[in-house]
Structure 1
Amino acid sequence: MSSAGRTEDVLQQVNQFWSMLDDLSQNDPAGYHKFIEEQMKKGAEICSPPELHSCIKTPILEPTPGLLYINICSWKSVPAPRDDSSSLPVCTGKLETGTTEAQGWFVVLDVALNPAVLQKNKDKDINYVYKLALNFAQQHHGMQLSQEFSVVRCSPNGSPDQFKCRLGFQKQHYTFKPTQTVSQTPHSLLQQLSSQQSGKQEENPTAQIICRPAERPKKNLIQVISATSVEPQKPEYQLEVKTNTEGVLRSLELTVELPKVRTVSECQLRVSKEDVLLEVADVYHLLLELPVTVNEDTASAVFNKKKQRLVLTVDVL
């Protein structure tokens, strides 16, 4: 069938639908009013924000020792699996790192699932969900984790606004007055909803959740859903270990080409004794193990705006 033919079929179905609503609005105003309210209620549920269900903590063994916190979230925007044999749709947020005086370096990962999945496993074994989340962190983010984990009250940087932001949720506003429903025709209602949708897309062109392929644990148990449409890439870099005149190691210099970066404020840089982590949200991700042990306290970085190049220098221990 040609493209024009398919378009005509779709338009015919749409016209039939609106004709049915026209008849309903005229012959049964109360029924029409109820139908529209139900559809708006369903739309509001789909646009509801993610909610924290529970949080687990486990030690990170490699590449950098620390603690991993995984926020398990309930989110109606994440589709439920079709059946028990299907892969499990999961939406994950951006990794966030930080340090505390008491526990040192940590990583926070947000994992959102459909509420039906969490409810189904609530009575059986919620550890099944926890283990899937841990397997995902190991497979997708290259972490080696301890086999032991504990359930904790909350993670660092675990406020509702913070994990909503990491998952890509933005509050969407809809205006709908039930008192206007009966007097509106389906055509005018369509224009109203279309204008709201258009305005929402202009404010947030990447708010829609988009499915993308991803690495999965064994048996394809997890289907990854990303809140962003761009996967960070590994930038080009050059690593040089410098010595003095006697051949003794003195410093290490890392040069990273960042052609898509305009200001240093876009970069997040972390230096430890064994590795370097450079992130530019949705653009670049570089985790580099260093060939020598360095003194992170001596690290200094300079970003050249003209060449769009970052140069990191740090002394060797």
Structure 2
Amino acid sequence: MSSVGCPKDVLQKANQFWSMLDDLSQDDPTAYQGFIDKHMKEGLELIAPPEVHCCLRTDILGPKRGVLYVNICSWKRVPAAQDPSRPIPLCGGRLETHTDQDGDYTVLDVAFSPSELQHAQQPRGGAGETEPQVYLLALCFAQRQHGLRLSEQYRVTSAGPKGSLDDVHQRLGFRQQPGRPATGGARRPDAVATPASLLQHIASLHTEDTDEDRCPEITIGPKPQTPRYQLVVIPATEGRSGGVVELTVELPRVVSVSECQLSVSQDDVLLEVDDLYHLLVDLPERVDEDSTSATFNKKERRLTLRADVL
């Protein structure tokens, strides 16, 4: 993030801006008015609040089990990806826990560029499905940024937010600036039609944009792949009193076991390799986590995990 310039630098740039606008208004009034109109439109888009697109619900598997709601938002302040091969930028808010009539729940707000959400609604193939990539990226952000283990299953619960819209705005770091009309309110077309007022308008946008309380903007690439795996239960033998659960995972893009992040509970196994693989497997039998052993075959690029059945 770029730092804010010193007052002397800001004053120098302001004087240059004044001079440029004065010259433009005298030499080419039409171009001057076009400049004013263009930056007025862009400025109003930048100060527009985020809008809720939909709400997702999924289960938190760890560190503490619970329910997570993710408000997917559209915000013109968030840039779109420069091209389809580049990561999609997003803006994530604070993670909060609340209680309603159904009990405790956790809520997170994630904002994307309106164009990314519009693209997500375009049908693909012949079945008319919608591309869920932005939903998956939002859930991936929740896991990476806040250290949550989430179920691979989720559903869209509503088109409105979980909680109030004001709370969504606050968690994302949006604040209505004093003296500005609320979104949708009337505004005189000449409100910033002078160089002085336009300069003040742009300066206020810069101040808001550099506020330390604003939400972080983060880029996340495509969702990691689910690797091929095999899960079997080896029954007890004469030399072993209990059975063993064996999980074999093919990881062709992994070079060393140090790249793998492995978490084992009595009921499931979570395997993550940054930007490459994500696997969450429910075990057919409850296992003893303390008995877990894992080996990685570098030649075959295969991870084998074993744990004793309880």
TM-score by length of 2: 0.54
Counterpart for residue 105 of structure 1: 104
Counterpart for residue 23 of structure 1: 27
Alignment of 1:127-138 (within 5 A): 127-138=132-143
**Equivalent residue letter for 1:92:** G
1:52 aligns with 2:52: yes
Q: Give the Å deviation of 1:191.
A: 2.3
Alignment of 1:154-165 (within 5 A): 157-165=162-170
Supply the distance in 1 between the matched residues of 2:142 and 2:60 (Cα, whole angstroms): 10
SS of the residue aligned with 1:148?
A: strand
Counterpart for residue 68 of structure 2: 68
Structure 2 gap ranges (5+)? 1-10, 124-129, 182-186, 225-310
Alignment of 1:3-42 (within 5 A): 15=19, 18-25=22-29, 28=30, 32-42=32-42
**Equivalent residue letter for 1:110:** D
Q: Give the Å deviation of 1:190.
A: 2.8
8 Å contact from structure 2 (residues 21, 32) kept in 1: no
The percent of aligned pairs where both chains have the same amino acid is 37
**Equivalent residue letter for 1:81:** A
SS of the residue aligned with 2:28?
A: helix
Judged with a 3 Å threshold, the aligned counterparts in structure 2 of structure 1 residues 15 and 121 are, in CA distance, closer, same or farther, namely same
SS of the residue aligned with 2:52?
A: strand
**Equivalent residue letter for 2:109:** D
Aligned length: 203
8 Å contact from structure 1 (residues 168, 207) kept in 2: no
Judged with a 3 Å threshold, the aligned counterparts in structure 2 of structure 1 residues 156 and 107 are, in CA distance, closer, same or farther, namely farther
Deviations 1:226-253 (A, max 9, x none): xxxxxxxxxxxxxxxxxxxxxxxxxxxx
Counterpart for residue 152 of structure 2: 147
**Equivalent residue letter for 2:23:** S
Supply the distance in 1 between the matched residues of 2:191 and 2:120 (Cα, whole angstroms): 43
CA RMSD of aligned residues (A): 3.9
Matching residue within 199, 202, 211 for 1:206: 211
8 Å contact from structure 2 (residues 75, 111) kept in 1: yes
Supply the distance in 1 between the matched residues of 2:99 and 2:191 (Cα, whole angstroms): 53
TM-score by length of 1: 0.53
Judged with a 3 Å threshold, the aligned counterparts in structure 2 of structure 1 residues 145 and 32 are, in CA distance, closer, same or farther, namely same
8 Å contact from structure 2 (residues 142, 148) kept in 1: yes
Supply the distance in 1 between the matched residues of 2:203 and 2:115 (Cα, whole angstroms): 30
Supply the distance in 2 between the matched residues of 1:141 and 1:44 (Cα, whole angstroms): 32
Judged with a 3 Å threshold, the aligned counterparts in structure 2 of structure 1 residues 191 and 8 are, in CA distance, closer, same or farther, namely closer
Deviations 1:2-52 (A, max 9, x none): xxxxx9999879855642332122xx4xx6445423321221112111000
Matching residue within 172, 192, 196 for 1:191: 196
8 Å contact from structure 2 (residues 60, 151) kept in 1: yes
Supply the distance in 2 between the matched residues of 1:202 and 1:16 (Cα, whole angstroms): 22
Counterpart for residue 170 of structure 1: 175
Judged with a 3 Å threshold, the aligned counterparts in structure 2 of structure 1 residues 84 and 208 are, in CA distance, closer, same or farther, namely farther
Q: Give the Å deviation of 1:192.
A: 2.1
